[in-house]
A and B are shown apart, each in its own frame.
Chain A
Amino acid sequence: MSKVAPDLKYSAEHEWIAADGTSPTTVGVSAVAADALGDIVYVDLPEVGSAVTAGEPCGEIESTKSVSDLYAPVTGKVTEVNTAVVDDPALVNSDPYGAGWLFKVTVESEGPLLTAAEYAAANGGGL
């Protein structure tokens, strides 16, 4: 299975958003990041209504072995968080591009994002 979904855009810090310009957009972390982190046991997400800034930390993802900041890939306001993933963080490992999505945010502006092909190349793999 490819670790990079083709229809998304990616930040260098491994977050993804939909590539079709919708707002609010869904945000998650890539399978590349989920695999590197190991089994994810805790996610700390921004609160609904809070403002996030592209490139700035907005939460945390904790695995058995390590903890990483979650970076906002866009600037905007959080409209929804995935409570299912808060209750069962393993969803980020099992379905990072689907049921393991993290939050939804309005898009005021995007940070520097990579196409799926660029992101795959930067992480040593193809699509």
Chain B
Amino acid sequence: MTENHTALYGEHEKAGASFTDFGGWQMPLKYSSELAEHHAVRNAAGLFDLSHMGEVWVSGPDAAAFLDYALAGKLSAVAVGKAKYSLICNADGGIIDDLISYRRSDEKYLVVPNAGNAAKVAGLLAERASGFDVAVEDVSSETSLIAVQGPHAEAILLTLVPADQHSRVTELKYYAAVEVGITVKGTVQELLLARTGYTGEDGFEIYVPNAGAAALWQALLESGQAHGLIPAGLAARDSLRLEAGMPLYGNELSLDGHAYAAGLGPVVSLAKESDFIGKAALAAIKAAGDGATTGRRLVGLKGLGRRSARGHYPVLKDGAVIGEVTSGQPSPTLGYPVAMAYVDVAHAEVGTLLDVDLRGKAEPFEVVALPFYKRQK
């Protein structure tokens, strides 16, 4: 597999990162301590390189109608300036990827798929565009993405934004985006700034051409220092998203699963008038109650002991396998093991006591509501 490097690879090396392969990319796993990075995001701020994510522009008179057809959500209903979390499904309702789409104008959307699926999603969008008056342009390879996440994210960002544009940032709502001037090395450049994230904290994601990525990274690190910002790697990103109950493609979401079992039913718009790929299958799945009254569905598990469940560990009820863990680890914020798992709907009620087979030894877990962690607003 090709080992892609983001435009920030040199910055990570300088910062002493240890690297890991993720979706075909060499990405920073951690810089020093993943626990310290996790806590920094919860209490101050963390800086993430997300340049491995994809960026695909969809533009043209049919852009809204096309995305209504290509994705499970109703993208035509998204106001200009806002963003929507959605799924791209196959004809069987299987999940090809989860992604965020930003509506930038009546006829223009930026679609952001996951790293490992970016090329596939871009290709599928182009394929599904046949018959629509749209252009699909994959700009993943020339676009970097930097996230500032944590309670101090806004204050840090404002240090780089000209005073007369501060309100663009302070008034930016969650799941919205705006073009804003960001000062790097004395020069103000207009960049797309989104108030989105994958950590359960307030935070921003900034889209920047590769050529400007390193300078922006350095500027954010420098001005963030006084606010407690440190660079954070994928290990912290994973523990943060797990606490926030957010699914990870490949763990909780897959081609073999579907939105209803994953708790993402509200993301699927069966009500939209137009057809979309996967609609008939998803309607049938919903009617059959799979993930609701039959089959398995995704739940949160809280460990009652000290040992953690990990991906693929069997979930037991009275010794019988009734599910499988998709993600799990000790929660740095909460201090006890947390996990997500698909379990038989009969055992999916909050408060149900189950066991997880931890390498041959059954350890008690309790079904709890997701998310595990919710920030105080």
Q: Which residues does A use to contact B, with CB under 8 Å?
A: 35, 38-39, 41-42, 44, 60, 62, 64-67, 90, 93
Please determine whether A64 and B310 come into contact, CB atoms closer than 8 angstroms.
no
**25 A–B contact pairs at CB < 8 A?**
A38-B30, A38-B34, A39-B33, A39-B34, A42-B306, A42-B307, A42-B308, A42-B330, A60-B307, A60-B359, A62-B307, A62-B308, A62-B330, A64-B34, A64-B38, A64-B235, A64-B239, A64-B329, A64-B332, A65-B235, A65-B238, A65-B329, A67-B308, A67-B310, A67-B359
Does B248 lie at the interface of the complex (its beta carbon under 8 Å from any beta carbon of A)? no
CB-CB < 8 A to B306: which residues of A? Answer: 42
A39 and B35 contacting across the interface, CB-CB below 8 Å: yes
**Which bracket fits the contact residues of B?**
10 to 19
In the bound complex, what is the Cα–Cα distance between A60 and B310 (angstroms)?
14
CB distance from B107 to the nearest CB of A (A): 44
Chain B residues contacting A35 (CB-CB under 8 Å) are 18
B273-298 residues at the A interface, CB under 8 angstroms: none
List, in ascending order, chain B residues with CB within 8 A of A41's CB. 35, 330
Tell me, rounded to whole Å, the shortest Cβ–Cβ distance linking A36 to chain B.
Answer: 9
User: What per-residue 1/0 map shows which CB atoms of B230-256 lie under 8 Å from chain A?
Assistant: 000001001100000000000000000
Which DSSP category, helix, strand, loop or mixed, fits chain A's interface? mixed
Q: Which residues of B contact A (CB under 8 A)?
A: 18, 30, 33-35, 38, 235, 238-239, 306-308, 310, 329-330, 332, 359
A64 CA to B235 CA, complexed, in Å:
8
| Residues of chain B within 8 A of A93, CB atoms compared | 33
Closest to A36 in B: B18
User: What's the minimum C-beta distance from A77 to chain B, rounded to whole angstroms?
Assistant: 24
Give chain A residues whose Cβ lies under 8 Å from the Cβ of B307: 42, 44, 60, 62, 67
Q: Which residues of B contact A62 (CB under 8 A)?
A: 307-308, 330
**A57–B35 CA distance with the chains assembled, in angstroms:** 27
Q: How far apart sit A62 and B313, CA to CA, in the bound complex (Å)?
A: 15
Chain B residues within 8 Å of A42, by CB: 306-308, 330
> In the complex, what distance in Å separates the CA atom of A19 from the CA atom of B306?
34
B-side contacts of A38, CB under 8 Å:
30, 33-34, 235
Chain A min CB distance to B52 (Å)? 19
Shortest CB distance A43–B (Å): 10
What residues of chain A lie closer than 8 Å to B34, measured between beta carbons? 38-39, 64-65
Bound Cα distance from A60 to B363, whole angstroms: 15
Q: Nearest-CB distance from A20 to chain B (Å)? A: 32
A42 to B306, CA, bound (A): 7
Which are the 6 A-B pairs with shortest beta-carbon distances? A39-B35, A41-B330, A42-B306, A39-B33, A38-B34, A64-B329
Min CB distance, B212 to chain A, in Å? 32
Provide the bound-state CA to CA distance between A67 and B308, in Å. Answer: 9
Most B CB atoms within 10 A — which of A35, A42, A65, A67? A65
